Amino acid sequence: MTIPIPHRASGFVMGAANANVTIDVFVDLQCPHSKQAWPTLMSLVEHYKNQSVSLRTHLITLSNHRQAWDMSLGLFAFAQGDVERFYSFASFMYQNQEQFYNAEFKHKTHNDLQQLVADLAQQHAQINREAFIKRMADEDIYILARTPIRYAATRAVWATPTMFVNNGAKLPVNHRSPLEHWIALIDPLLSDEA
């Protein structure tokens, strides 16, 4: 079965759309390694703010992270396609990740999870809870949320976080790498463009 053509390309891009150095990262909102990498990735974008570097984040859900799917639906519903809203709420979700670990939800319901997503959205920004929960169930949000995992399959991504720089996968950095290691990787690529 072929993958249907999505309404928009996978991922949310921060930085120059036509950057010479592109970073693609596949993350899961419930993944502790993704959470560990996230602040460094945000610092990286800030460090290269006015340079030819971009970060494209693809939000995927791993099979053992049961709550991540609804968290993803909530993130897509909250962002409404807006890059700033996506990154801002994703950062907030990572800061509150312990609230939606599997153990935390062992005896809770799907409704409890949806209410938690709405709680987080309301804490982060003023929302209409009823409209927000309804929006999470819309077909277009479902399609937006499933597109990145299908794209991930075409890139042989099976774990999070998985990172590519200029489509290269064999990187000297990982989720534990500090900002300095990323800079050491990217600066030579920027100097090569001259």
Q: Is-contact 76 145, C-beta < 8 A?
A: yes
> How many CA atoms lie within 13 Å of 120's alpha carbon, on the beta-carbon side?
26
Q: What pLDDT digit, counting tens, does each position of 127-172 carry?
A: 999 999 999 999 999 999 999 999 999 999 999 999 999 999 999 9
Averaged pLDDT, 36-44: 98
Q: What pLDDT digit, counting tens, does each position of 63-118 carry?
A: 999 999 999 999 999 999 999 999 999 999 999 999 999 998 999 999 999 999 99
Strands 162-165 and 53-59: unpaired
pLDDT interval class at 8 (50, 70, 90) = confident
What element of type H or E holds 191? helix 179-192
Q: Give the predicted TM-score (pTM) of the model.
A: 0.93
